[in-house]
């Protein structure tokens, strides 16, 4: 017997503006960054003239961008919209794993855990706010990346809410996702808007969102990008669906 699924309400149904949406850790441009090359298997290309970046359905879609760029809102809305028609997507985010780290392995400003050098540190530098990882922090990131790959290998479709921290993190993704169909989506946002949203949230390291508008994209290459600086969340969702072929 068919099961009727009641569509869920999301932030997009509430008509929130980009500055008011609840973000986790933008018109769109197609293609990869100039001069870049993917070293992981990505989704099958559309025939010339197709709007979608893939013909088939990719196993993994990764939304990468700065904290407060709108990744969590977009990923959640996409998951919920697909769920309403019986299409399951597992949403996994970097914050899901970093949140598991006890405060003893974290440092932010004056709050420094006893073992923070081995975990994760948010530091103010001459180049802006930075995230530093110790050996345990790296292990945690690799576990996060491996969990995405494991879910995809088991046949689940996965959408990832990601902030690529540095080149080591990017290389880790290429290793973990080797052989899988992957679509990388750059979620862009102006530094000013990202920092404004970051301040409004009140629980983020000052300056981190501004810095990550550069660092999160420095080493990554994309199948396409979405800019949420002025774009409404619903518009971003429509664009994501169109480019993925939904």
Tell me the pLDDT tens digit for each residue of 35-60.
Answer: 333 333 333 333 333 355 554 556 89
More confident residue, 24 or 183: 183
For the chain, the domains span 24-97+144-244
CA distances from 17 to 22, 196, 202, 242 (A): 10, 13, 18, 21
What is the C-alpha radius of gyration for the chain, rounded to an integer number of angstroms? 18
**Partners of 111 in the beta sheet?**
108
Q: What is the pTM of this model?
A: 0.76
pLDDT averaged over the chain? 78
Question: What ranges make up the beta strands (E) of 3-105?
Answer: 28-30, 60-65, 89-93
Provide the angle, in degrees to the nearest 10, between the axes of the packed helices 233-244 and 71-83.
Answer: 60
Contact 243, 52 (CB under 8 A): yes
DSSP H/E element including 44: none
Q: Is the pLDDT of residue 85 over 90?
A: yes
Ramachandran quadrant class, 45 (left: phi over 0; alpha: psi -120 to 50; beta: rest): beta
User: In this model, does residue 14 exceed pLDDT 50?
Assistant: no
CATH, range 24-97+144-244? 3.40.50.300
CA distance 241 to 218: 25
Is pLDDT above 80 for 161?
yes
pLDDT in tens, 97-147: 988 999 999 998 788 999 999 999 988 877 777 889 999 999 999 999 999
Q: How many CA atoms lie within 13 A of 2 on its CB side?
A: 5
Average pLDDT over residues 178-199: 87
User: What pLDDT was estimated at residue 51?
Assistant: 54
CB count in 10 Å sphere of residue 115 = 16
Q: Which of 93, 96, 69 is nearest to 216 (CA)?
A: 69
Distance, CA of 20 to CA of 164 (rounded, Å): 24
Distance CA 163, CA 213 (A): 10
Catalytic center residues: 95
Is residue 183 within 8 Å of residue 53, measured between CB atoms? Answer: yes
Tell whether the model's pLDDT for residue 221 goes beyond 80: yes
Beta bridge partners of 60: 158, 182
Structure confidence at residue 207 (pLDDT): 60
């Amino acid at each position: 017997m068919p099961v009727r699924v009641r569509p869920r309400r999301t932030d997009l149904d509430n008509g929130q503006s980009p500055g008011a949406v609840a973000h986790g850790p933008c018109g769109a441009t197609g293609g990869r960054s100039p001069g870049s090359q993917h070293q992981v298997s990505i989704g099958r290309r559309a025939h010339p003239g197709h709007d979608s970046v893939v013909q088939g359905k990719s196993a993994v879609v990764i939304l990468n961008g700065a904290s407060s760029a709108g990744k969590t809102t977009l990923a959640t809305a996409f998951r919920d919209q697909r769920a309403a028609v019986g299409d399951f997507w597992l949403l996994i985010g970097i914050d899901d794993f970093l949140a598991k780290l006890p405060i003893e392995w974290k440092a932010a400003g004056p709050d420094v855990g006893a073992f923070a050098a081995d975990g994760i540190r948010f530091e103010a530098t001459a180049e802006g706010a930075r995230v530093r990882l110790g050996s345990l922090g790296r292990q945690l990131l690799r576990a996060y990346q491996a969990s995405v790959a494991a879910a995809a290998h088991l046949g689940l479709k996965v959408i990832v809410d990601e902030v690529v921290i540095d080149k080591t993190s990017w290389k880790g993704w290429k290793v973990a996702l080797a052989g899988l169909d992957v679509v990388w989506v750059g979620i862009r946002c102006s530094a000013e808007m990202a920092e404004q949203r970051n301040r409004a949230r009140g629980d983020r390291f000052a300056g981190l969102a501004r810095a990550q508008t550069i660092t999160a994209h420095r080493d990554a290459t994309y199948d396409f990008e979405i800019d949420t600086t002025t774009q409404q969340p619903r518009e971003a969702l429509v664009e994501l669906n169109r480019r993925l072929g939904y």
